[in-house]
Structure 1
Amino acid sequence: MSDSGQSPAPGGRRRWPREKEPDGGGDRRQEGGEEPAGLMQKTPIILAKPPGERQQAKAGSGPAPPTPAPAPPIVLMKARGEEGRGGGGATSGEGPALAPPREREGPRPTQPVYQLHGRGLPPPGALDPVAGQARLAAPEKMKTSIKLVDEQMNWCDSALEFLLEQTDVLVVGALGLQGTGKSTLLSLLAANQPEEDPRSFVFRPQPPELRERGGSQTGGIDFFITQERVVFLDTQPILSPAHLDHLINNDRKLPPEYGLPHTYVEMQSLQIAAFLFTVCHVVLLVQDWFTDLGLYRFLQTAEMVKPSTPSPSHEPSGAAGPEEPSEYYPHLVFVQTRARPESFCPRRLRQMHRVLDRLMAHSHLKYKGSLSMRDCGLLPGLPPGSLGAEVNLFLLPPLEEEGGGEDALPRPGGGGAPLFPHLPPYRGHGAFGPLLARLRGRVLAAARTQLSHTLLTERNWFHYAARIWDGVKKSSALAEYSRLLG
């Protein structure tokens, strides 16, 4: 009561202190007992008035009539509007004290826009459509391959930045012995042309000096993805003598679970093959000659230790429907590079198909299908049904013959100019370029089936492949096989 008695009254009136108040002051306070409550109601209104009206109220004999307080949203919008106008237009004393902003300044933003500002978010008009579309644009085009698994068999995460959240992706891997041309073949299938410099290939092949020393160019697993969303995986040579020589001569320390260097090299090869059989749609087995029984024995072993397809996380094991396959197996294509002209003979092709069919008779890999060279139209001696067992076999002539050098084209009569110089030369088989184009068409047209029981995007495939690689390295079947080898 004492605090409210000493507060100054509006309109310039002054209250006397309690000890100096004239007689009858108590009665006057009792008569005007409701006055302090009215004064407290007028206080925010007076502070909100412009300076011109405040001076007019001081000059008058009595207090100004109370003005109804404006709604809080209107005051907020007015304050932001005055800041946008530079603070002008609010000092005039002739107009109404608190006119609605829509009548004074035209259309104003609505309240939800200010709530977005208060949360630190831009208003809808400030969103850049170009920046929004940049999030959906394809990543930067790859110029060369990067590591998916390094030489120490460790997983690398650098490929994740080139992947998208879309499901239409094809994964193609390559296996083969040392020097068979895996890197060259994948480069030609991915982005390069035969006439280009090999040093510009996305998967760099062996340079001549390294080939002469018997060395290996690729270590681990290399990764490359095209703008057509096709992933190519190039691998180090399986059962490589160059890696074995490097382990022995450089005194590299072997992991404790491997006792001998040759056991470690074979286990690395099995890990890579089992990994490709799980995460690829198409696996190319590249070889530069045909009869290598040890290679087919290696394929059967890799299929035996292949990790099983993970079941869906939301379903228990064995709960999948009958229409959903329990295990996934990729398409296997036998690609023979540097094939000699006699290998393109229909009789020789039929023999090769029969041998491959018998060697892979007990395999679950999809080694038969639509990836054969019978329907290419480049071999007129192969009518439909002439090969019997339709094995995925494709022959490619030596790449060196594409340039048409002196050693590539036999001359009639042992010398002189060609008999028909205006016709393309015939060497007993089609040219390298058309055959390679047909192989590329067959591979890229392969069915992009589901690798697991759930549909995977590119980024999900990367995480799925990382989990499979970790499981392959910790596989109990591979550990038991390594113990038997040692």
Structure 2
Amino acid sequence: MSESGHSQPGLYGQGRRRRRRRERDPAGPPGQNLSGPSRDRDYVPRERRDGSEESTGPLLQKTPIILAKPPGERSKASAPASGPPSLEKPIMLIKTRDEGGKPGNPPDIPPSASGAGTAKMEREGQRPTQPVYQIQNRGMGSAASGGAVDPVIGQTKLLPPEKMKHSIKLVDDQMNWCDSAMEYLRDQTDMLVVGVIGLQGTGKSTIMSLLSANSPEEDQRAYVFRAQTQEIKERAGNQSSGIDFYITQERVIFLDTQPVLSPSILDHLINNDRKLPPEYNLPHTYVEMQSLQITAFLFTVCHVVIVIQDWFTDINLYRFLQTAEMLKPSTPSASHDSTGSSGPDDGSEYYPHIVFLQNKARREEFCPRNLKKMHMAVDKLMAHSHLKYKGTLSMLDCNIFPGLSRDYMETEVNLFLLPLMENDGEDALTRAGSGPPLFSLLPGYRGHPNFSSLVSKFRSQILAMSRSQLSHTILTEKNWFHYAARIWDGVKKSSALSEYSRLLS
């Protein structure tokens, strides 16, 4: 009786307080007033937000609205039975390259696994952002996803290029273009193209081998450009035919050519009854037009053209060079460098640097007085040429003549002298077996530095030539190959060369 007496006033007072709250706020459901002793017992949503267990009381439940919650805790929380299922927006994750993912193809991650990936990236201090490739390829459709770059292909572009062991054909003996050089070329623009022309037997292939990959001490049978054998020399034949191609690891392209105005090629055409093309009537006309086509081609696609001669000098060679310059295809150039030029049209048409190499020079040709006369003769013969024949190469800068000043050469042209190649340290008297024993221990007097030293200085000056633009756009190595193929096709179909051939016959 006493227990019921004490409990009845408590229940009565509690009900009266609830009625007063309903009268003061009739729209508020029970449990919304945070004051009073029943706050912790009636406010179920707050306990769910803290992650505690759900109460089992008979109170009315409302669907909680979760504004933000980590995905890991979201999967642990139990969804209410009466409310609609919550929609989760999937997060696309991109694996890094170390995890095996490709930059262009992000893996498909299910929504269930996205929480763990996001948590891992947050622990590592990273944020899942929009991939860059989606921004760049936006609006391109399926073509963008199909053009993704494979990282393996990207790594191969950074590998060192394949080293050539020997030269290959760029133009064969039938004057047809060859595509075998394409595999050795790269997509980079820092290159130098060096070509060579000369009469038969002047040493073109030997000089180009020494400039590119070989040394004078090596066996000539291992040269990248095959030199004349003793058998070919005895029957006065030519070793090279067409145009040979070689590129070094320093990205220097060397083009070795068949001899111009070659008597052995003419003899081969006459004696073997070789059928001429229909546009040529006489064999000597065909040989001269072949030489003009090759020289005009080099004047268009090369930065440097070396003219090799083994005696000074043949006036017909300079006439041939001027004819090839006249028949050269017109090539607009964006470069306005007029260094070494002597004509007003240099800004609108490209002309290469031309270097005259006196091979197998004798001792008296290294005399400063004779050297000055040689420079004056070349300058007068090339006075009306647009080719850059002066100002880019100097023997005085090589310390070959230490007593001479630059004022001694009034008109210094691009002329270099190389002596006859021989084994260094062997004097003529020693090879003959004569002379006193004292002189056999001393180096013989030559009047000039040895052959190896001069070749090294000549190579340094050739590789230091300026690399001006060959066309109106900057060419990569592969673009140069396609550009050279178009030039060669244009030279063979040139109307100016055809008209000149008609005048010769």
Q: TM-score when scaled to structure 1?
A: 0.72
Match of 2:195 among 149, 165, 173: 173
1:431 and 2:453 matched? no
Residue 323 and residue 208 in structure 1: after superposition, are their counterparts in 2 closer, same or farther (change >3 A)?
Answer: closer
| Percent pairwise identity | 62
Take 2:179 and 2:440, find their aligned partners in 1: how far apart are those partners? 56
Structure 1 residue 449: Cα displacement: 0.8
Q: C-alpha displacement at 1:138, in angstroms?
A: 3.1
Once the two structures are superposed, residues 217-265 of structure 1 have per-residue CA deviations (whole angstroms, 9 ceiling, x without a partner) of: 1110011111111111000000011111111122211110000111000
Alignment partner, residue 479 of structure 1: 498
Structure 1 residue 370: Cα displacement? 2.8
CA distance in structure 2 between the aligned counterparts of 1:465 and 1:393, rounded to whole angstroms = 27
Correspondence 1:417 to 2:445: no
- SS of residue paired to 1:347: helix
Output the CA distance in 2 between the equivalents of 1:102 and 1:337.
75
User: What is the one-letter code of the residue matched to 2:171?
Assistant: V
Asked whether the 8 Å contact 1:189–1:440 carries over to 2, the reply is: yes
| Partner of residue 311 from structure 2, selected from 258, 278, 289 | 289
Paired residue for 2:299? 277
Q: Map Cα deviations across residues 171-229 of structure 1 (whole Å, 9 max, x no partner).
A: 11000001100000010001100010111111110111111111111110011111111
Q: CA separation of 1:100/1:230 partners in 2, compared to 1, >3 Å: closer, same or farther? A: closer
Alpha-carbon separation, structure 2, partners of 1:212 and 1:249: 18
Q: Which amino acid aligns with 1:174?
A: V
Residues 418 and 307 of structure 1: CA distance in aligned 2, closer, same or farther (over 3 Å): farther
Gaps of 5+ in 1: 1-64, 78-97, 313-321
Structure 1 equivalent of residue 464 of structure 2: 445
Query: Hey, what's the Cα distance between the residues in 2 that align with 1:408 and 1:394?
Result: 28
The CA deviation string for residues 314-338 of structure 1, in whole angstroms up to 9 with x for no partner, is: xxxxxxxx99811111111110111
**How many Å separate the matches in 2 of 1:362 and 1:324?**
13
Taking the aligned partners of 2:371 and 2:432, their CA distance within structure 1 comes to 23
- State yes or no: 1:349 paired with 2:371: yes
Question: Retained in 2: the 8 A contact 1:409–1:427?
Answer: no
Distance 2:301 2:454 in 1: 27
Letter in 1 for 2:314: D
Give the equivalent residue in structure 1 for 2:330: 308
Runs of 4+ in 1 over 4 A off after TM superposition: 65-74, 98-113, 119-122, 405-411
Q: Does the aligned pair in 2 maintain the 1:183–1:204 contact within 8 Å?
A: yes
CA positional deviation for 1:152 = 0.7
1:225/1:70 CA distance change after superposition, 3 Å: same
TM-score under structure 2 length normalisation: 0.69
1:381, distance to aligned residue in structure 2 (A): 4.4
Any unmatched runs of 5+ in structure 2?
1-80, 94-109, 122-127, 135-141, 335-343
SS of residue in 2 equivalent to 1:283: strand
In structure 2, do the counterparts of structure 1 residues 477 and 67 end up closer, same or farther at CA, with 3 Å as the change threshold?
same
Matched, 1:397 2:406: no
| Alignment partner of 2:217 out of 192, 195, 200 | 195
**d(CA) in 2 for partners of 1:254 and 1:304?**
25
Counterparts of 1:366 and 1:408, CA distance in 2: 43
1:417 alignment partner AA? P
In the alignment, structure 1 residue 334 sits paired with structure 2 residue 356? yes
Match for 2:261 among 239, 248, 258? 239
Deviations 1:322-369 (A, max 9, x none): 998111111111101111101100111111111111111111111111
What's the counterpart of residue 148 of structure 1? 170
What secondary structure does 1:400 align onto?
coil
Deviation, structure 1 residue 464: 1.2
Structure 1 residues 295 and 420: CA distance shift in structure 2, 3 A: same
Segment drifting more, 246-255 vs 174-183: 246-255
Partner of 2:77: none
Do structure 1's residue 182 and structure 2's residue 204 form an aligned pair? yes
Cα distance in 1, alignment partners of residues 393 and 431 from structure 2: 29
Change (3 A) 1:418 1:241: farther
CA contact (8 A) 2:426 2:443 kept: no
The alignment of Structure 1 onto Structure 2 pairs a total of residues equal to 386
Q: Structure 1 CA distance, aligned partners of 2:382 and 2:111?
A: 89
Query: Helix, strand or coil for the counterpart of 2:419?
Result: coil
Q: Distance in 1 between matches of 2:117 and 2:436?
A: 95
CA distance in 2, matches of 1:301, 1:207: 32
Q: Distance in 2 between matches of 1:458 and 1:408?
A: 49
Contact kept in structure 1, 2:353 and 2:389, CA below 8 Å:
yes
Alignment CA distance shift 1:103-1:191 (3 Å): closer
Residue aligning to 1:316: none
Q: Does 1:470 align with 2:489?
A: yes
Shift of 1:400: 2.3
Give the root-mean-square deviation of aligned CA atoms.
3.4
Q: Is the 8 A contact 1:267 1:478 kept in 2?
A: yes
Distance 1:363 1:485 in 2: 23
Alignment CA distance shift 1:141-1:72 (3 Å): same
